[in-house]
Amino acid sequence: MGIQLNDNNAELKPKNEKQHMAVIDIGTNSTRMLIFRDDDGQLIRVNKSVRYTRMGQDVNKTGHLHPDAQKRNYEALEEFKSIAEDYAVKGFYLFGTSAMRDAQNAEDYVAFIKEKLGFDIEIIAGEEEAELGFVGVSQCFDEKILIFDIGGGSTELIYGEKNEIKKMMSINLGCVRCTEEYLISDPPTLQELERLNERIYSEFQQRTENFLPKKPYKLIGIGGTATSLSTIKQELKTYDSEMVHKSMITKAELEAMIDKLAGQTIQERKTIVGLEAKRADIILAGALLLLNILKITGEDSFMVCDYDNLEGAAYRHFMAKKNNV
C-alpha cells in the first residue's frame, strides 16, 4: 500500500471518474479534509483542504467549546460538504481531537452537526490520534521512526518499527494551549518565554523518562507546526507538498527561527514568507515545543513528513477494511 499526491495544488478540480471518500480532522487549531480514492490498494490524494477554525479557543480556561469556535467550525464543515459533493464523495469519516476531548459540551456540538449536516463525529482519545498519525507516516518509511505531532491542544509521540507501533503517548501541551496560557504579551516578554520553556521541558522530561527508544531511529515531525517551519525555512509563498515532504530542519535553524519569532509582534509575523497568517499567533509556542523535543531526544535535526493522521484515518477506516487488512 502506498500513498501518492495527485498534484501540488491543495484544492484541485473535481474528478468524478473514480469513487472518492473523505476524512475530516476537527483539530484544536484547524479543521482539515482529505478527499482520496483507492486505486488497487494505493491511496491517491485528490484534494486536501484546511480551514483555521480554532476550536480550542478558551477551552483550557472554560472547559467548553466557544460559541464563535463552533460557528467557525460549522461553516468549515458546511463548506467541506459542498466541496465533497463536487467530487461525488461516497463516504465520510470525521474525528475530533484535543479540544473536543476536553470540552464538556462537545457531545452537544456533535449532535448539532449530525442534525444540521448529517455528519457523525467520533471524538478519539490521544492514543488513537497518535496511532492514526503513525499509520499515515509509516506508509513512507521502513526504518525505526519516532514521530512527534504537535497539535493545538496536545503533542503526540509515537515510536514504531517495521510499520508496527511499539509505544506511544499523548501529552496535554499544544501550541494553542501554550499560547493562551503563557504568551500573553505581544511580542511576548522574556519572562513569559522562560516560563513556557521551563514548563514544556519539565513536562516532556518527566513524561518521556521511560519512553524514549534506543538509538538509532529517524525523528519525524508531522502536523502544522513542523510543516509551517519547513515552509518558513524554504520561503515557500505557496504550499508545495513535494518541497515540504522529507525536508530537514536542524536544531540551529530552529533556534534562529525562534529568536526571530520571539522578537516580532503577531502582525509582523503575518508578513513572514511561508507562514499562514492564521498561524502567526501560535507558531512561536509550536516552535518551542519542537525545540524541547530535540532537547529531550538529543537530536540535532528532524525530518518533516507531509503525511499524517488524515492519511492514517483514510487507510484505517476505508482502505484497510476494504482490503480486509
> Residue 47 is part of a domain; what is its CATH number?
3.30.420.40
Indicate if 97 and 158 belong to the same structural domain: no
Q: Is residue 324 part of a domain?
A: no
Long-range contacts formed by 10-17: CB under 8 A, 24+ apart: 10/47, 10/48, 10/49, 10/50, 10/239, 11/47, 11/48, 11/49, 11/83, 12/46, 12/47, 14/86, 14/87, 14/88, 15/46, 15/87, 16/87, 16/88
The yes-or-no verdict on residue 3 having pLDDT over 70 is no
Q: Examine the pLDDT at 13 and tell me if it is beyond 60.
A: no
Report if residue 314 sits inside a domain: no
Same domain for 196 and 106: no
Q: Domain tally for the chain?
A: 2
Q: Are residues 195 and 286 in the same domain?
A: yes
- The pLDDT, as a whole number, for residue 17 is 57
Rounded distance between C-alpha atoms, residue 233 and residue 254, angstroms: 9
Give the count of beta carbons closer than 10 Å to the beta carbon of residue 225: 28
pLDDT at site 130: 87
Mean pLDDT of the chain: 92
* Residues 251, 146 within the same domain: yes
Name the residue with higher pLDDT: 321 or 275.
275
Same domain, 187 and 102: no
The verdict on residue 191 lying in a domain is: yes
Q: Cell for 47?
A: 484534494
Residue type, 210: N
Whether 309 is in a domain gets the answer: no
Q: Same domain for 191 and 282? A: yes
- The answer on 150 and 42 residing in a single domain is no
Q: Which CATH number is 156's domain given? A: 3.30.420.150
The pLDDT of residue 140: 87
* Residue 131 located in a structural domain: no
Confidence grade of residue 40 (pLDDT, cut at 50, 70, 90): confident
Cis peptide before 187 (omega within 30 of 0): yes
pLDDT at 54 over 80: yes
Residue 134 lies in a domain: no
Quick: pLDDT tens for 172-220: 999 999 999 999 999 999 999 999 999 999 999 999 999 999 999 999 9
The 10s digit of each residue's pLDDT in 99-126 is 999 999 999 999 999 999 999 999 999 8
User: Which residue, of 80, 98, 126, is where some domain finishes?
Assistant: 126
* Beta-bridge mates of residue 114: none
pLDDT over 70 at 257, yes or no: yes
Residue 321: CB atoms within 10 A of its CB come to 10
The H or E element spanning position 69 is helix 67-86
**Residues 120 and 178 occupy one common structural domain:** no
* Per-residue confidence (pLDDT) for residue 324, from 0 to 100: 52
pLDDT of residue 323: 53
Report whether pLDDT(252) > 50. Answer: yes
Quick: pLDDT tens for 128-178. Answer: 998 999 999 988 888 899 999 999 989 999 999 988 899 999 999 999 999
Domain boundary among 79, 101, 126: 126
Quick one: 181 and 278 in the same domain? Answer: yes
CA distance linking residue 239 with residue 21, whole number of Å: 23
- Over residues 286-307, the pLDDT tens digits come to 999 999 999 999 999 999 999 9
* Domain housing 242: 141-304
CA 293, 298, 302, 307 dihedral sign is: negative
Please state, in angstroms and rounded to a whole number, the distance separating the CA atoms of residues 117 and 207: 40
Question: Are both 95 and 202 inside the same structural domain?
Answer: no
User: Domain end: 75, 97, 126, which one?
Assistant: 126
In a domain, 193, yes or no: yes
User: Based on the domain organization, do 149 and 88 belong to the same domain?
Assistant: no
Residue 237 lies in a domain: yes
CA 52 to chain centre: 12
Same domain, 159 and 219: yes
pTM of the model: 0.84
Note the pLDDT of residue 322.
59
